[in-house]
A = this chain, B = another copy of it.
Amino acid sequence: MAVYTDLSDAELEAFLAAYDLGAPVSFKGIAEGVENSNFVLETAKGRFILTVYERRVREADLPFFLSLMEWLADRGFPSARPIADKSGQRLGRVRDRPAAIISFLPGLSVRRPTPEHCAGAGVGLSGLHQAAEGFPASRPNDLGAASWKRLFKGLEVRAEALRGGLADEVASDLDQLERAWPRQLPSGVVHADWFPDNVFFRSRAFAGAIDFYFAANDLLAYDLAIALNAWCFDDDGGFSTPRARALVDGYERGRPLSAAERAGLPLLAQGAAMRFFLTRLADWGDDRPGALVRPKDPLEFERRLAFHRRAVRAGGGLDGLLAA
């Protein structure tokens, strides 16, 4: 939730001059998108989101994200669609930052997902995986399994400060994940941030997804593993098997999992917990003055990491996890 770059009416007008959208009718900064500044823009042509891309998004990656959104929207997946300016460009600049206008996607995100929401989140995720098939561009996942040891480097002291013994546990997890990572599973374009914040519902049914700014090529089941972490834990850290079952069932309505994917899911989920633990650990204590956003507690994902560590040891693959 943030507006890092607050645009003036004059800056907006100058930016809009490149587009064929008419004069602005209303323009409001919204508390959406942790990494970017977002505004709801209304013109005679309709409602849009104007996004100013901030420091964490690499400018060179933006064409990948924007073409992916367009590709998905073209194939009937409910993603916002980037709007081209008069010269056909989808990426502009404002206040020396890259910026884009995308269509307004209706729907509401949910705070405490029910199993019904989780089913919808699963349906949406496999819908995305299927719609993205054949997308010609690719982008390595710079926050994928291959990056985690590097991410952890230098953060050992911070991990240890969170809880004594944690640095060694994480190092041992990282060894195990490197050794056992199921690199041969089906891969494709993943959203890589399929959290409730980024998934919209209407009348409790999946209605769309936003924030494709972590999308990359990776294992498809890893995306589901991220979603298991994001949708199926209570605030107190408890794992909800009804929600996890609903998420997987929803996912499989669009794309049934292979036996190897089912077997690998607990480890993939451990890896997903590791990925969010590590980036939160890196952000922890990294206060950005004026960012209007507070770092998220890394211990939330440390607890999930511990849960998955036990599930991997217990064996039994996805079925073991869902029976837990």
> Which A positions have Cβ atoms within 8 angstroms of B?
1, 3, 6, 8-10, 12, 23-32, 40, 42, 104, 106-112, 200-203, 290, 292, 294
Q: Residue on B with the closest CB to A9?
A: B110
Min CB distance A100 to B, Å, is 18
Separation of A278 and B229 alpha carbons in the complex (Å): 49
Distance, CA A10 to CA B110, complexed state (A): 8
13 A–B contacts, CB within 8 A, in A order: A1-B6, A1-B292, A8-B111, A10-B112, A25-B107, A26-B106, A26-B108, A28-B30, A29-B32, A31-B31, A40-B40, A42-B106, A292-B292
Closest to A202 in B: B25
**CB contact between A30 and one of B30, B109, B112, B203 (< 8 Å): that residue:** B30
17 new A-B pairs (CB below 8 Å) besides A23-B203, A24-B108, A26-B107?
Answer: A6-B31, A8-B110, A9-B111, A10-B110, A10-B111, A10-B112, A23-B202, A25-B107, A26-B200, A27-B108, A28-B31, A28-B40, A29-B32, A30-B30, A30-B31, A31-B31, A42-B106
Q: A112 contacts which chain B residues (CB < 8 A)?
A: 8, 10
Give, as a whole number of angstroms, the nearest-CB distance from A172 to chain B: 36
Contacts of A1 in B (CB 8 A): 3, 6, 29, 292
Q: How far is the CB of A24 from chain B (nearest CB, A)?
A: 6
A31 / chain B contacts, CB cutoff of 8 Å: 3, 6, 28-31
Contacts of A28 in B (CB 8 A): 30-32, 40
Chain B residue at minimum C-beta to C-beta distance from A109: B9
Nearest CB on B from A162, distance (A): 21
A111-B12 Cα distance, complex, nearest whole Å: 11
**CB-defined contacts of A200 to chain B, threshold 8 Å:** 26
Closest B residue by C-beta to A12: B108
Complex Cα–Cα for A3 and B38 (A): 14
CA A6 to CA B32, docked complex, whole Å: 11
- From A1, A9, A32, A40, residue with most partner B Cβ within 10 Å: A9
Q: Would you give the shortest CB distance from A160 to chain B, in whole angstroms?
A: 26
List of B residues within 8 angstroms of A12 by Cβ? 108
Chain B, residue nearest A111 (CB): B8
Q: How many Å lie between the Cα of A324 and that of B3 in the bound state? A: 39
A267 → chain B closest CB, angstroms: 32
